[in-house]
């Protein structure tokens, strides 16, 4: 008989982890242009980041100055976005998309869900109006796709200004994207940037029927630090541990995150002004434990070798890309500010563990393995930063101030409580110990992914994207149930929900 794990891997391998790549905003704000993007795309390749999995090159705000022609088409500045190859026209965004593709990378672009964009003064240049897509959703998203873009970040400045509903606007956008995809045959990944103002973790999963998406959970990690501008405003900006930790804290909505749907903790700012090696490490480690998008906002041409090797650390990226794509659960806080975060992973008995020291003094920390839902001590403990195996017998971790120890352990899961599904319901669940890891078994023989809206009478709503299973075999996805979840009601879809295995830690 084939093992359930082999089936699981084949069922979900076609499925996207959160995106990885580069975004222009944090280091270039709206001075972004073709030259800068070409340079950064080349650096993504030469640093080895592309090979490590960073694939999207995203042009954020500043590429478009709010002008449309008589037919409503976006007019692009020919000087900012000239021809790159002979035969190309100035002012055509397909030039840069083709350049990015020529390096084996994917191209991303940016707009706003409202009429106006953010146009963040004083980030270089006058405040521009009408840089949003409202009234032009079908036209703009088709245009982005025709230009060759693979990813679109959709901001919310105009939407917020007009008092719109994010759930409604982004559903319309998701549908416009799906229509564009049908016409061009090119996947256009939706990145929702609504900063958590209207709880996008409730409506982001499956919005407008999308099979995969991310939604920002908070404001900007920092205002842009454009070092090349040398103006007083940018010169005084510097990143602190608080910026990084606040974005992590705001990003935790584990019940909303499942394969394909991810909370977006914001771009990463490794190596930028104010960042130290310890803070770089903490930043990447927390984002990886959260299965968050790994979009780097730094100037890639100025990264130190230490930052590059951190960003390309394979074991950290493997934690981020775990097939279940879950967020970590805080299982212990042995002293104020010393926290043990545990991420359940798709391989049975595997956990990624972060020991976060938020304090100004170093700490000695012992882990109580029982709190990780394992029987006894783990079989193996891998220290990710040093790349060494540790011995479970003599484990007291020493964590420097404002730093993060990161490990992957393999052991044996304590047994689960199993709840079979009756029609489209699972009832009588006992998730009474805090956020609870569970594995949902299902069969989806439709041959394609199916989006299943889920709710619970305990006030929990989400949607699950269930990848197709091989023939009639069982597939599984990981979920984290909020404390007190007692039942799950699945909207009827062409899939069979089998049972829920609940792991009470
Ligand atoms: C908002 C977003 C940022 C960036 C800027 C552009 O602040 O949250 O990530 O896109 O707009 O103005």
Q: What is the pLDDT of residues 296-312, one digit of tens each?
A: 999 999 999 999 999 99
Residue 136 to residue 290: CA distance in whole angstroms: 34
Average pLDDT rounded to a whole number, residues 162-185: 98
SS3 for 449-463 is: CEEEEEEECCCEEEE
Dihedral in degrees, nearest 10, Cα atoms 306, 342, 247, 196: 140
Please, which residues bridge with residue 414 across strands? Answer: none
How confident is the model over 336-360, as a mean pLDDT? Answer: 97
Of 112, 116, 123, 220, the catalytic one is 220
Distance 201 CA to ligand 1 centre (A): 19
The verdict on whether 413 is a catalytic residue reads no
CA gap 30, 46 in Å, rounded? 25
Q: Whose CA is nearest to atom 4 of ligand 1?
A: 25
Q: For residue 264, what pLDDT is reported? A: 98
> Which pLDDT does position 1 carry in this prediction?
33
The mean per-residue pLDDT over the stretch 474-486 comes to: 95
Which of 155, 157, 200, 216 for a ligand 1 pocket mutation test, highest count of atoms within 8 Å of Cβ? 155
pLDDT digits (tens, 9 = 90+) for 84-102: 999 999 999 999 999 999 9
Calpha distance 99→76 (Å, rounded):
17
Ligand 1 centroid–CA 64 distance in Å is 14
How many angstroms separate the most distant Cα atoms in the chain?
73
447 Cα: distance to centroid of ligand 1 (angstroms): 38
24 contact partners, CB below 8 Å, separation of at least 6: 32, 36, 37, 40, 58, 59, 60, 62, 297
Instruction: Find residue 344's DSSP bridge partners.
Output: 351
What number of residues does the chain have? Answer: 505
C-alpha 200/C-alpha 280 separation (Å) is 27
14 vs 115: which has the higher pLDDT: 115
**Which pLDDT score, from 0 to 100, does residue 378 have?**
93
60 touches ligand 1 (CB under 6 Å): yes
Nearest to 217, CA basis, from 239, 201, 234, 237: 201
Compute the distance from residue 392 Cα to the ligand 1 centre, in Å: 44
193-209 residue pLDDT tens = 999 999 999 999 999 99
CA distance 379 to 390: 10
The CB of 112 under 6 Å from ligand 1? The reply is no
* pLDDT tens-place string over residues 379-414: 999 999 999 999 877 678 899 999 999 999 999 999
Tens of pLDDT, residue by residue over 131-159, are 999 999 999 999 999 999 999 999 999 99
Instruction: Tell me which residue has its CA closest to atom 8 in ligand 1.
Output: 220
Whether 120 is in the pocket of ligand 1, judged by its Cβ within 6 Å, is yes
Catalytic hit among 60, 112, 140, 155: 155
Distance CA 208, CA 485 (A): 26
- pLDDT averaged over every residue in the chain: 94
Query: Quick one: pLDDT band at residue 15, thresholds 50, 70, 90?
Result: low
* Average of per-residue pLDDT across 172-181: 98
Ligand 1 atom index nearest CA of 120: 12
Alpha carbon distance, N-terminus to C-terminus of the chain: 30
Does the annotation mark 235 as catalytic?
A: no
């Amino acid at each position: 008989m084939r093992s359930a794990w082999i089936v699981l891997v084949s069922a979900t391998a076609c499925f996207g982890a959160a995106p990885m790549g580069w975004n222009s905003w944090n280091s270039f704000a709206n001075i972004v242009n073709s030259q800068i993007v070409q340079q950064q795309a080349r650096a993504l390749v030469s640093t080895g980041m592309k090979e490590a999995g960073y694939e999207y090159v995203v042009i954020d705000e500043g590429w478009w100055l709010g002008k449309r022609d008589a037919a409503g088409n976006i007019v692009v500045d020919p000087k900012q976005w000239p021809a790159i190859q002979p035969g190309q026209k100035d002012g055509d965004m397909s030039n840069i998309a083709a350049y990015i593709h020529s390096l084996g990378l994917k191209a991303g672009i940016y707009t706003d869900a409202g009429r106006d964009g953010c146009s963040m003064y004083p980030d270089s240049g006058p405040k521009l109006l009408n840089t949003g897509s409202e009234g032009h959703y079908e036209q703009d998203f088709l245009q982005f796709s025709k230009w060759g873009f693979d990813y679109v970040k959709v901001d919310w400045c105009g939407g917020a200004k007009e008092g719109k509903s994010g759930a409604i606007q982004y559903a319309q956008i998701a549908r416009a994207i799906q229509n564009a995809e049908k016409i061009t045959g090119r996947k256009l990944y939706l990145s929702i940037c609504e900063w958590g103002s209207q709880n996008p973790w409730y409506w982001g999963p499956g919005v407008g029927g999308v099979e995969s998406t991310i939604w920002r959970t908070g404001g900007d990690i920092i205002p842009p630090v454009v070092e090349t501008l040398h103006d007083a405003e940018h010169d005084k900006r510097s990143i602190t541990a608080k910026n990084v930790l606040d974005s992590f804290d705001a990003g935790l909505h584990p019940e909303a995150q499942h394969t394909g749907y991810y909370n977006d903790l914001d771009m990463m700012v490794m190596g930028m002004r104010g960042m130290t090696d310890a803070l770089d490490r903490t930043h990447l480690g927390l984002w990886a434990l959260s299965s968050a998008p790994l979009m780097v906002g730094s100037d890639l041409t100025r990264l130190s070798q230490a930052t590059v090797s951190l960003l390309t650390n394979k074991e950290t990226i493997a934690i981020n890309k775990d097939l279940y794509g879950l967020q970590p659960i805080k299982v212990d806080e042995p002293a104020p500010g010393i926290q043990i975060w545990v991420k359940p992973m798709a391989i049975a008995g595997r956990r990624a563990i972060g020991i976060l020291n938020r304090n100004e003094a170093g700490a000695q920390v012992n882990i109580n393995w029982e709190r990780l839902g394992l029987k006894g001590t783990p079989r193996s403990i891998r220290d990710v930063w040093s790349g060494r195996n540790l011995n479970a017998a003599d484990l007291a971790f020493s964590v420097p101030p404002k730093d993060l120890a990161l490990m992957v352990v393999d052991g044996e899961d304590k047994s689960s409580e199993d709840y079979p599904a009756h029609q489209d319901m699972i009832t009588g669940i006992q998730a009474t110990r805090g956020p609870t890891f569970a594995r949902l078994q299902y069969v989806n023989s439709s041959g394609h992914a199916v989006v299943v809206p889920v709710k619970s009478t305990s006030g929990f709503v989400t949607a699950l994207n269930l990848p197709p299973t091989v023939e009639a075999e069982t597939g599984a996805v990981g979920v984290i149930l909020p404390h007190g979840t007692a039942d799950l009601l699945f909207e009827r879809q062409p899939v069979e929900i089998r049972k829920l295995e609940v792991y009470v830690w």
